[in-house]
A and B are shown apart, each in its own frame.
Chain A
C-alpha cells in the first residue's frame, strides 16, 4: 500500500503538471508529489518513463458471469493492468445480465477476490436488456453501479430512453447509449460504403448511428439528464454532440482506439478480427473523429474490449460475433496514431484515458492530487515494440497483432500496489507460447 515512484516524468493533466517528480503513495492514496522524495516504502524506478494517473476504461466487457470461456473478471482485469488501466467499467451484457443487485454484488465481490484493478459495474437500463421495462436502477446504483447501459443493443423505445434519462438524473449517473438503428443496419456486418459495395457485404450505414444520436441528444435536452454516447464512430454523431454541448446539453462521448486507427478498407482481408459494432468506418469519418478529439468534443477514449473465443471468430466473416479486445494495446495505438502523428499532445491523450473518464463518470482516480487513489501508470514512449499474440486477456481477437507501436505500459500500480511490471513479465519463462497460434 506504500510505494515510492522515483525519477519519472510526471504528467498529470488534472493539475497541469509536467515535470520530473517523485510520487509517494501511503495507505493506498497519494501522499506527496515532489522532487527527490525519500521513504522506507518499496521503490519503483521510473527513470526514462512517463508517469501518469492510472487509466480508466469506461467500456469493458469482462464477460463474467456467464461467458467465462471468453474472459473472466480475473483475466480481464489482468489484461487491464497490462494496458495501464487501474479501473474498468464492466458492461451489463453478461449472462444473466447485470440488471439486478445480486449480479452487481457478485461482480464487485469477484473483483475484490481475484481482480487486479478496480471494477465499476455498469447496470442494465432495461430488465433482461430487453428494452421494455426499466431495471431497478436505484438498487443497482446502491449496489455500486456507476452508470446504466443496454450496450450491445440500442434502447429502441424512445419513451423508455426518456424515462431512463429522467430516472438516472435523480441518481446522478449517466445513461450510456449504444446508438444503432437496427432496421437501417438490417443484417449488415461492416460500414456501408465503397468497401461494403466492393466486397458484397451487408452495410451498416453511418446514418444508423447518427439518427439515434440525434434522437437521444434531443431527449437529453428535454430531460436535462446526462447522456453518454458509447463508441462514437461517425462524423455526423460527432457534429451532433458538438452542437448539443454548445447549447448546454449534458452529453459526453467516447471513441475507441480501433475506430481511430483502422478503416473499413482493411476489411478486404476478410479477417474477423476487423469485425466490430460500430464497424470500422471510412476515412472521412475517421478524420472527423480525430478532429473531434483534437477540438475537445470527445471526452474519453474507451476500449470496448470485447473478448471472444478463438473458435467463435474462426468462421466466415458474416457469422463471426462483433468485437475485438483492446485493453492491452489501447494506449500504444493511440500514442502512435494521435501523439506521434501530432494530432494531439501527450497530456491530452492522458486526459482522454484517465482524467476525462474519471471526470465524466464521477469516479475516483484520474488525478495524482494528494489524497486521491494511489493509481499510477508508467509508460515507455521511446522504445518501439511489436504486439504479439501473448495477451493476458483470455482472448486474442486483436486487430493489432504484428504491428510495431510506441508507448508500451511499463508498470501499473493500483492503490499503491504494483499489479503489473513489464520487467518482471519479461523475466517470466513460458509467457511467449501461451496462446494458440494461427
Chain B
C-alpha cells in the first residue's frame, strides 16, 4: 500500500469517521517504523522532546492508558496521567473547566477517555491543543481500530477484500464503530453478529452485513473479532444470562472449527474468559490478542508523532 499523503488534515484525532483512506494508510505506515523502535535495545526516539502530553482518563482503563503512556515515553514527550477519581472532577468540576485549567499549563496534546460520546470533540472545539480520543462512550475508539487494522495488515498483507466478522454487544461498543469506519473505508468486508437486543437500529447503513448466528459469522471469515460483554448487562433487559450468552455467542474451539484455516482471532480486551471467548481460543494458535496489544504502542506512537512531532519538525 502506498502512502499518498504525508500529514493529517486535522489537529485532532476524534475518530476514524473523519479520516480519509490515505490518512489511515499514513498512520499505519508510520506505525511500521515505530514498531521497529520498540524492538531496539534503546527504545526511544526524540520526536516529541519538549512536548507535554496529558492523559485525561475519566473512565477506567488499563491497556489503553498504559499503551499511550509507553508510546509517549518512547517519543520522549513529557507526560502525565490522571483519572477522574482523586481529581477535582470528584468535587463537581465540569469537563470544560478541567480542560481549560489543564490548558492553562500549555499541554501540546491531550489524550482523553470519557464515558460520554462527543466529549473529545467538546475539547477539540475549545482548546488549541491536539485532542486524541482514547474512547468516548459507545461512539469511537480510533486508536483501537488502527491497531486492529495494523495487526490484520501485518498478518495478511492487506485490508482490501479481507472478511472481518465482529461478534457481540454491538450497541454499546465504540470499538465496533471505529472498526466499521476503518474497515469499510479500506474496502474490507464487515459482518456483524450478536443478540438482536444488542444490535443498534439501521447499522446496515454503515455498510456492513448483519447475520443472525455465530456460525454464519464464522464461515468464510479471515478475521473474527470478539467484543467484550459488559457483565452488568446480564439478567436485565438485553440478554438473560452469561450462561446463555456463552451458549449462543461464545467463541469455543468447536465453533472455531468451522472457520477458515489460518483465521485470526482478535479481542480488544479486557476479556471475559468463558463468556464471549473460551480460554482455549483466547490462548490458542489463532489468537493474535497479545500482538494487538504490542502493536497498540506502535500505532499510538504514530498518531502522537503525526499530530505533534511531524509538524514540529517542519
**Smallest distance from the beta carbon of B88 to chain A beta carbons, Å?**
15
Contact A315 B96 (CB under 8 A): yes
B187 within 8 A of A: no
What residues of chain A lie closer than 8 Å to B118, measured between beta carbons?
Answer: 199, 270, 316-317
What residues of chain A lie closer than 8 Å to B205, measured between beta carbons?
Answer: 194, 197
Q: Would you list which residues of chain A between 164 and 217 have a CB under 8 Å from chain B?
A: 186, 192-194, 196-201, 203, 205
**Smallest distance from the beta carbon of B44 to chain A beta carbons, Å?**
36
B138 within 8 A of A: yes
**Smallest distance from the beta carbon of B192 to chain A beta carbons, Å?**
11
- Out of B94, B138, B202, name the residue touching A200 (CB < 8 Å): B138
What residues of chain A lie closer than 8 Å to B136, measured between beta carbons?
Answer: 200
What residues of chain B lie closer than 8 Å to A197, measured between beta carbons?
Answer: 200-203, 205-206
CA distance A199 to B202 in the complex (A): 12
**Smallest distance from the beta carbon of A183 to chain B beta carbons, Å?**
9
CA distance A193 to B205 in the complex (A): 10
CA distance A414 to B118 in the complex (A): 44
Nearest opposing residue in chain B for A318, CB measure: B116
CA distance A311 to B138 in the complex (A): 25
Nearest opposing residue in chain B for A438, CB measure: B126
Nearest opposing residue in chain A for B136, CB measure: A200
Q: Would you list which residues of chain A between 130 and 181 have a CB under 8 Å from chain B?
A: none
CA distance A384 to B114 in the complex (A): 42
- A201-B202 contact in complex given A270-B122, A317-B117, A318-B117, C-beta closer than 8 Å: no
Q: How large is the interface on A (under 10, 10 to 19, 20 to 34, 35 or more residues)?
A: 20 to 34
What residues of chain B lie closer than 8 Å to A311, measured between beta carbons?
Answer: 94
A314 within 8 A of B: yes
B140 within 8 A of A: yes
Contact B203 A199 (CB under 8 A): no
1/0 per residue B81-123: CB within 8 Å of A?
0000000000000111000000000000000001011110110
- Out of B116, B137, B201, B206, name the residue touching A203 (CB < 8 Å): B201
Contact A196 B137 (CB under 8 A): no
Contact A316 B201 (CB under 8 A): no
A37 within 8 A of B: no
- Out of A186, A192, A198, A318, name the residue touching B137 (CB < 8 Å): A318
What residues of chain B lie closer than 8 Å to A43, measured between beta carbons?
Answer: none
Q: Would you list which residues of chain B between 182 and 205 have a CB under 8 Å from chain A?
A: 200-203, 205
Known contacts A199-B139, A270-B122; 6 further A-B pairs (Cβ under 8 A): A186-B237, A192-B201, A193-B201, A197-B201, A316-B119, A317-B118
Give 3 nearest A-B pairs by CB, closest first. A200-B138, A270-B118, A200-B139
